[in-house]
Structure 1
Amino acid sequence: MIKTYDEALSFIHGRTQFKKIPTLTRMKRFLAELGNPQEKLKYIHVTGTNGKGSTVAMLRSTLLESGLTVGSFTSPFITRFNERIAYNGIPISDEDLLRLVQKIVPVIKKLDAILETGGPTEFEIDTALMFCYMAEKKPDVVLLEVGIGGLYDSTNVITPVVSVITTVGWDHMKYLGDTLAKIATQKAGIIKKGVPVVLGNLPTEARATILADAKEKDSPVFELGKDFNAHQLNVHQFYAKIQYQGRTLKKIEAVLGLAGDYQIENAAVALMAFEIFMEKCGLAIDRHALVAALANTKWPGRLEEVNEMPLVLLDGAHNLPGVQALVRTIKNDFADREVYLLVAILADKQYELMLGELASLGNVHLNVTHFAGPGPKRPSADLARAVADIPTKYPIQIIDNWQLGIGKIARQMSEDDVMIITGSLYFVSDVRKLFLN
């Protein structure tokens, strides 16, 4: 019997992560055994290669500031597992998590015994815990962030008020496919019949796939750059001031609380989804509340400032599109400063291409390291070998111990220089504990 919070976490993390054949049948059976806790709630469903977390964070702020109660399900966590399941921005308590794990364990054991493929996976259990918690809390809206893909993701058992696809890029190819069209097909799986879908900036191949899927399902489409837009008013500034043009909202000006140029598109997508949700629910929009909400949005590990002088930022640019977005930010906002990067990446990512992007910048001092990784099946990449043939302006430094490495890099910097610690979100999570403890 599970008696403590730590035992509950060990039970969750000890489950299988993936099954050979993707299916939602097992998840639907699991929820049916639990009394279908996912029913009778309103959802905004968010997928995308990058930008999901930031979009959810801005949506949460705007909805809360508008007076609604808001549940959210996000991944991965940065500091503690509980962050993934939150009500009004407050993570589930240890006591509630333990109680809900104790509630669902008998159902898991039953399914383990009777299902040919075995019982629920770790992420399916996470999702079921969230649905059970939200059924108790009954928020006005639940923001559901997809784990991987969309079509077979365990969150894809609901019909939302609005669906959101932030971006489509190269990541999780082992599970989603080796072309952008295949990856886009998986993301498009969250589009439901007649339910509006908001699209961020998508590559041509992915866009065509998603538009065809939406047309087949008679789902109204709202595209960034076509049906809504946002542009930056203060050029070369770390925190962008934007002007947003939407359906009913025109010329909304706001300073974003989340740093980085890529947040401009995420903010536009969040605002469009917010507009549609409020309209569908017959709720009025307070422009002043929106502006305050965007300014106050925080999201750990996304160009997060953890030291002021010298400036130290944490950025979980954990895949190739994420690194390309970080490169654009460095070019636009830090072109006149020396930038010291400390990078650790998981071995299952496109780490050679990611390093090549970062090394291409003339003002970057690249330092590579390794870390423990989230588990034995997902180790940190050996970046020391990967950088051997990468041309750079400054020699690439190989750091064995990242904790000591941060101090070593800091001693090389002047007050005007910038340190950015990036790569895996798991690595960023480890570093964040060091800075914020």
Structure 2
Amino acid sequence: MNTTITTAADAIAFIEGSITRAPDTYDVLPPQMRQIARYPYMAALMDELGHPEAAVRIAHITGTSGKGSTATLLAAIAQAGGYHTGLYTNPYVTIPQERIQIDGVPINDDLFIASTAEVAAALERMQTRLPDFEPHLKMIWVATMLVAFKRAEVQLAVIEVGKGGRFDETNIVRPATATLVSIGLDHTDSLGATLAEITFHKAGIIKPGAVVVNGVTDPVPHSIIRAEARLAGAAIHTIASDFGYDDLQLSPQGTRFHYRDAQQGDIVDCHTRLVGGHYGHNATLAIHTARTLFPTLPDAAVHAGLSQAWLPGRFEVIRHQPTIILDIAHNPDKLRALAETVLTIFPETPLWLVFGAMENKDTSQMLAALAPLRPVQLICTTVRMQKRAVMPAEVLAAQAATLGLASTAVRDPQAGVQRAIQLAGTGGLVLVTGSLYLVSQVRAGLLGTT
């Protein structure tokens, strides 16, 4: 490998370069087997690095939808409580370094360079013993994150699972809390086609000694989560029975609710800038996880953290006249929640919808989730990706037409957004959604930063 890393650009090139390096032995396996086969290499890498995952206290978070916002809210609450906090989320919207944050700020160049260089050196040593081994993108990101948090001596590391849980690269950790936000159908090619199969993967983050904060109440997934907790000897706290929320109110300025907890006490009039009914659920899980980790956490820290937390590309109003909203929702559950939010806040506003998606997504169901919005026009576009398969705009438009939606194909995302803006005039609403990559590609242009 012979890697020299002296700048942040070198570090990013090394990590992102893992996408283009030669495929390893396991690329011949079907998708559902690759993650499982590669998982043991993560343990070997931790051995080589001296086990940075054991150096910090960890809150591990998984879920089909909402894990990124729950992680961000939890980290903000912990930081507001005075705790030196690391946050790992994925992927990113603006710059790669935003995946690793310390006290709400993307990792600084010095720490990023040093941590990535340490991981690169460890990988080189591994490859002398395992010449067929090729490190993968997620493995390098997770290892870099763990080394960085150890070097920074964070008091809490909030870590979002990449995909699934049981065989995810992040599951090398032994967390203090394991939070399961939601269970739905996504990544079915690798996690399974049923809720039970997907729950098996998600529940794999439950470990002995952890407290499980469970946001899943559907009977079948819930029974699997409870069984996994019993097997690990882990305490489990479940939303709607052990804690919860009520009086949910949405506005363009955010989401308000009352947090309810008979054991630890209620917290009334909670507010987050994140807009959507599902953020009441996610914020409630973040609050309960924070109070589990820090029993003396003052209510003021909860209020401050919720009000400060923010994520780009989550019902982000980026411009007015027309109103332009960007949202990275990329599975049917997320898109249903997005549609409900739009109909609640903008019930009478004419809507132009710009949509793009990856090829491995159930785009028919995604479009069906958006159908209640009844856009004036649905503009389907082709997400620009060099190394991942995308759904062509023409195919998406044909799928939309079968749902009775007025649709057209504009291959270039920027051109599609500009057409929607022109058609919406000053009084309409433009919603861009379907893929994080689509939102990332058009966001900089709309902000005038490209």
Q: TM-score, normalised by structure 2?
A: 0.90
Task: Tell me the equivalent position of 1:14.
Answer: 17
Task: Tell me the equivalent position of 2:231.
Answer: 216
Structure 1 spans left out of the alignment, 5+ residues: none
Of 240-249 and 137-146, the range deviating more from structure 2: 240-249
Task: Tell me the equivalent position of 1:348.
Answer: 360
Q: Secondary structure at the match of 2:171?
A: coil
Instruction: Give me the whole-angstrom Cα distance separating, in 1, the residues matched to 2:404 and 2:192.
Output: 36
Count residues with an aligned counterpart: 431
1:338 aligns with 2:350: yes
Q: Secondary structure at the match of 1:155?
A: helix
Which whole-Å deviations, capped at 9, do the CAs of 1:345-403 have from their partners, x for residues lacking one?
01111112111221343355311111212x32x12201322332534565212222221
Task: Tell me the equivalent position of 2:302.
Answer: 290
Task: Tell me the equivalent position of 1:162.
Answer: 177
Change (3 A) 1:418 1:140: same
Task: Tell me the equivalent position of 2:118.
Answer: 103
Correspondences of 1:1-400 after superposition (within 5 Å): 1-3=3-5, 4-15=7-18, 19=26, 20=34, 21-115=36-130, 118-234=133-249, 239-246=254-261, 247-279=263-295, 284-363=296-375, 365-373=377-385, 375-376=386-387, 378-389=388-399, 390-391=401-402, 395-400=406-411
Instruction: Give me the whole-angstrom Cα distance separating, in 1, the residues matched to 2:414 and 2:396.
Output: 21
Which whole-Å deviations, capped at 9, do the CAs of 1:157-190 have from their partners, x for residues lacking one?
2221111011111111222122111110111010
The offset of 1:261, in angstroms, is 1.6
Instruction: Give me the whole-angstrom Cα distance separating, in 1, the residues matched to 2:217 and 2:318.
Output: 32
Q: Which amino acid aligns with 1:165?
A: L
Instruction: Give me the whole-angstrom Cα distance separating, in 1, the residues matched to 2:425 and 2:265.
Output: 44
Q: Which amino acid aligns with 1:78?
A: V
Which whole-Å deviations, capped at 9, do the CAs of 1:73-129 have from their partners, x for residues lacking one?
110011111111111111112333223322222321222232375143221111111
Instruction: Give me the whole-angstrom Cα distance separating, in 2, the residues matched to 1:227 and 1:74.
Output: 27
The offset of 1:285, in angstroms, is 2.2
Q: Secondary structure at the match of 1:295?
A: helix
Instruction: Give me the whole-angstrom Cα distance separating, in 2, the residues matched to 1:291 and 1:8.
Output: 36
Of 107-116 and 262-271, the range deviating more from structure 2: 107-116
Change (3 A) 1:360 1:118: same
Q: TM-score, normalised by structure 1?
A: 0.93
Change (3 A) 1:177 1:44: same
Q: Secondary structure at the match of 2:325?
A: strand
Task: Tell me the equivalent position of 2:29.
Answer: none
Q: Secondary structure at the match of 1:348?
A: coil
Change (3 A) 1:239 1:82: same
Q: Secondary structure at the match of 1:14?
A: helix
The offset of 1:30, in angstroms, is 0.8
Q: In the alignment, is the contact (CA less than 8 A) between 1:362 and 1:393 conserved in 2?
A: no
Q: 1 or 2, which has the higher helix percentage?
A: 2
Correspondences of 1:399-414 after superposition (within 5 Å): 399-414=410-425
Which whole-Å deviations, capped at 9, do the CAs of 1:32-65 have from their partners, x for residues lacking one?
1111122231111001111011111111111111
Change (3 A) 1:234 1:172: closer
Q: Secondary structure at the match of 2:254?
A: coil
Instruction: Give me the whole-angstrom Cα distance separating, in 2, the residues matched to 1:52 and 1:358.
Output: 21
Which whole-Å deviations, capped at 9, do the CAs of 1:267-313 have from their partners, x for residues lacking one?
1111111111112xxxx222123222212211111111211332211
Change (3 A) 1:189 1:87: same
Q: In the alignment, is the contact (CA less than 8 A) between 1:238 and 1:260 conserved in 2?
A: no
Q: Secondary structure at the match of 1:243?
A: strand
Of 37-46 and 406-415, the range deviating more from structure 2: 406-415
Q: In the alignment, is the contact (CA less than 8 A) between 2:397 and 2:408 conserved in 1?
A: no
Q: In the alignment, is the contact (CA less than 8 A) between 1:197 and 1:221 conserved in 2?
A: yes
The offset of 1:68, in angstroms, is 0.9
Which whole-Å deviations, capped at 9, do the CAs of 1:112-161 have from their partners, x for residues lacking one?
23237514322111111111111111111000111111111111122211
Instruction: Give me the whole-angstrom Cα distance separating, in 2, the residues matched to 1:249 and 1:93.
Output: 38
Change (3 A) 1:365 1:255: farther
Q: Secondary structure at the match of 2:240?
A: coil
Q: Which amino acid aligns with 1:184?
A: T
Q: Secondary structure at the match of 1:15?
A: helix
Instruction: Give me the whole-angstrom Cα distance separating, in 1, the residues matched to 2:405 and 2:59.
Output: 46
Q: Which amino acid aligns with 2:170?
A: T
Q: Which amino acid aligns with 2:224?
A: T
CA RMSD across the alignment = 2.1
Instruction: Give me the whole-angstrom Cα distance separating, in 2, the residues matched to 1:401 and 1:325.
Output: 27
Instruction: Give me the whole-angstrom Cα distance separating, in 2, the residues matched to 1:8 and 1:40.
Output: 23
Structure 2 spans left out of the alignment, 5+ residues: 27-33
The offset of 1:8, in angstroms, is 2.6
Q: Secondary structure at the match of 2:398?
A: coil
Instruction: Give me the whole-angstrom Cα distance separating, in 2, the residues matched to 1:202 and 1:292.
Output: 29
Q: In the alignment, is the contact (CA less than 8 A) between 2:180 and 2:216 conserved in 1?
A: no
Q: In the alignment, is the contact (CA less than 8 A) between 1:339 and 1:419 conserved in 2?
A: yes
